[in-house]
Amino acid sequence: MAKKRILSGMRPTGKLHLGHYVGALENWIKLQNEYESFHLVADYHVLTTNLNTDEIYNNTLEMVMDWLAVGINPETTPMFRQSQIKEHAELFLIFSMLVTKARLERNPTLKDQIRDLNIENVIYGHLGYPVLQSADILLYKGEKVPVGEDQVPHVEITREIARKFNNQYGLVFPEPEPLLTKFSRLPGLDGGSKMSKSLNNTILISETPEDVQKKLRKAVTDPQKIRRNDPGHPEVCTIFTYHKRFNPEEVPEIEKSCRSGELGCVDCKLKCTAKINEFLDPIREKRSVYENDKNKVLEILLDGERKASEVAKETMSEVHEKMKLG
């Protein structure tokens, strides 16, 4: 039986952090063995909130190096830039005729972005970016879409567009289903929100051991545990959350010692630092190979783009036939 196909991607914002790993990459690594996977560098999507393109190329290389370093396999999983596959733009144009402005304005993720980024005037491309995402997914006939809960509304829009096209012109596209990640969020070092580069509260996947230690030393912990012997409340501690993810075998003992006051925050942070660095060491080593040969990264992208282009052209041939466009 042929493997089902998935499409997932990220905007190229440069080096990735542990929140990206926990929220997406870890899932991608697992899924690439279970599905036929395609991974998209969503460089057109950058334009929906930032028209400056100066850093897109370098940010793309940095992000793809992180993909490769954590274990995305370029031999089985094509990685490619959205802008290099022209069929994305064509299918986006067609799909934009199949959805109303009112439907896109009801998208809760768009409302959140407008609020969080303090956007006063929404551009047409930003309003329509879920339509471009639909084109990204359906161009490769993605049947599953690995997403966090906040992206589920986008998958629903994709399903609606696929249904509308199929009903109007004939069956071409599957109606994809979301694949929710189990551990989709990692709190930032400030303890107040998820890890985000815009909030400067991250630990990068490519961070040096020394910088990991410096950052964790300043991380927010239980505000009520002021002295070592004070009883702690691990359920509100950012560092304890990191232990649960990167040091699960010691969690019961750490929780017990924290609550009793036996374990101080400094020692707890040192334990966490050691475990995170132990996790990152092989990733850093693999990444350094690509850092010293960025042409190799570009070759991997070009190879992925050749593979993606073949699938995209085949899909658009079917679209043209169904629409009687020649």
Residue 183 has pLDDT above 60, yes or no: no
Please state the rounded mean pLDDT for residues 180-191.
78
The count of other CB atoms within 10 Å of the CB of residue 12 is 22
**Which residues are 178's β-sheet partners?**
145
The tokens for 183 are 């551990």
**Cα→Cα distances 228→14, 24, 87, 238, 274, Å:** 39, 36, 60, 17, 20
H or E stretch at 45: helix 43-46
Contact between 88 and 136 under an 8 Å Cβ cutoff? The reply is yes
Residue 179: is its pLDDT beyond 80? Answer: yes
How do the domains of the chain map onto residue ranges?
5-186+294-323, 207-288
What is the tens place of the pLDDT at every residue in 22-73?
Answer: 988 998 999 999 999 999 999 999 999 889 999 999 999 999 999 999 999 9
Contact 69, 287 (CB under 8 A): yes
**Predicted local confidence at residue 29, as pLDDT:** 94
Please give the pLDDT value at position 110: 82
Q: Which residue has the tokens 């829009």?
A: 157
Q: Considering the entire predicted model, what is its pTM?
A: 0.93
Buried b (16+ CB within 10 A) or exposed e, 78-94: bbbbbbbbebbebbbeb
Q: Phi then psi for 194, rounded to 5 degrees? A: -70, 160
List the one residue out of 179, 167, 171, 88 whose CA is nearest residue 132.
88
CATH 3.40.309.10 fits 5-186+294-323, yes or no: no
Q: What is the pLDDT of residues 248-288, one digit of tens each?
A: 999 999 999 989 888 989 999 999 999 999 999 999 999 99
- Minimum mean pLDDT among 176-185, 221-230, 290-299: which range? 176-185
Let me know: does 31 contact 6? Beta carbons within 8 Å: yes
Confidence band, pLDDT 50/70/90 cuts, at residue 182: low
Q: What is the pLDDT of residues 60-113, one digit of tens each?
A: 999 999 999 999 999 999 999 999 999 999 999 999 999 999 999 898 888 888
Tokens for 149, please give them: 């809960």
Query: Phi/psi at 302 (nearest 5 deg)?
Result: -65, -40
- For residue 42, what are the contacts with CB-CB under 8 A and spacing of at least 6? 9, 10, 11, 12, 82, 136
Question: What tokens were used for 139?
Answer: 């161009």
pLDDT grade for 158, boundaries at 50, 70 and 90? very high
CATH (residue range 207-288): 1.10.240.10
The residue-averaged pLDDT of 128-150 equals: 91
